Amino acid sequence: VELPPELRAKLPRRDPEALARFYEIYFDRVYGYLRRMLGEDQLAEDVTQDVFMHIQRAIHTYDPARAPGPWVFTIAANKLRDHWRSRRHMDALLDATIDGEGRRVEPQAKDRGPLPALEEAELSRELSRAIGTLSPPMREALVLRYFEGLSFEEIGERIGRNEAAVRKRYSRALADLRVALERYVLEGKGARR
């Protein structure tokens, strides 16, 4: 769903109706994107707030001839990168390293994957967790592709990479998800219950 052109034209003038509709359309998408990228509710709320306050200040620069989606997600991606460069994130990374997280587990060799063994709800839940373990570039490619429906080319424009590079990241993200799910079934499922 995108904002209708007649409301887009009113955005730079801060028309209340246009802004309210804009918020309705983009809040969930921005929060969902950031929540998947950051993996924590509180962080996602903080960065979502930054995004919308930035949009609020910069809305007069928005070009109504273009759909707001790419503009909004460019701002969101920039705020995300600001966060990743921040001291807070660096400290969290350091803690994670000290705790021994982030170790990669190699996949198990076999003819057929174990996913059929997972129930749908369980698969969805585990998948969400596994997305959070992907590296940020791979997670970004995956989230923008699947949850925001962007083409590889559009993602490339957003993150400053060519289409082939985005495809590669996406492909590696799928491979890593597969590994994480296999690990869950073969090693971690019993231990969690």
Partner 1 sequence: LSADRRTSGDADLDVEVEAALRNCDRPAARAEFCDELRRRFLDAAGAQSSSRRRVGSRTVWLLAAVVILAAGYFLLRPSTPEWRVLEVAPGSVVQADGVSVPVEDRMALARALQNAHAIFVESGDVIVRAGDLSLFDIGAGTHVEFAGFHPDERPGPLLVRASSGRLRARTGPGFPGRMMEVLAGSMEVAVTGTAFAVDYEEAGTCVCCLHGTVEVKSQAVGAEAMAVQPGKMCLVFRDDRAPLWGDSPEAHAQPLGRLEARAREIWP
> Are the C-beta atoms of residues 10 and 4 closer than 8 Å to each other?
no
| Min dist. Cβ of residue 100 to partner 1 (A) | 20
Please state, in angstroms and rounded to a whole number, the distance separating the CA atoms of residues 164 and 148.
19
From 1, 6, 99, 111, residue interacting with partner 1 (rule: CB under 8 A): 111
186 Cβ contact partners less than 8 Å away, ≥ 6 residues apart? 108, 114
**What part of residues 16-75 is at the interface with partner 1 (CB under 8 A)?**
16, 19-20, 23, 27-29, 31-32, 35-36, 41, 44-45, 48-49, 52-59, 61
Residue 181 within binding range of partner 1, rule CB under 8 A: yes
Q: How far apart are the first and last CA of the chain?
A: 40
Q: Token digits for 73?
A: 């997600």
For 83, how many CA atoms within 13 A lie in the half-sphere containing its CB?
24
State which residue, 49 or 67, has the beta carbon closest to partner 1.
49
| Min dist. Cβ of residue 151 to partner 1 (A) | 15
Please state, in angstroms and rounded to a whole number, the distance separating the CA atoms of residues 25 and 186.
40
Strand locations in 63-109 (E): none
Residue 96 within binding range of partner 1, rule CB under 8 A: no
State which residue, 142 or 155, has the beta carbon closest to partner 1.
142
Q: Token digits for 1?
A: 């769903």
| Site of interaction with partner 1 (CB under 8 A) | 13-14, 16, 19-20, 23, 27-29, 31-32, 35-36, 41, 44-45, 48-49, 52-59, 61, 78, 81, 85, 107, 110-113, 115-116, 120, 123-124, 127-128, 142, 146-147, 160-162, 168, 171-172, 174-175, 177-179, 181
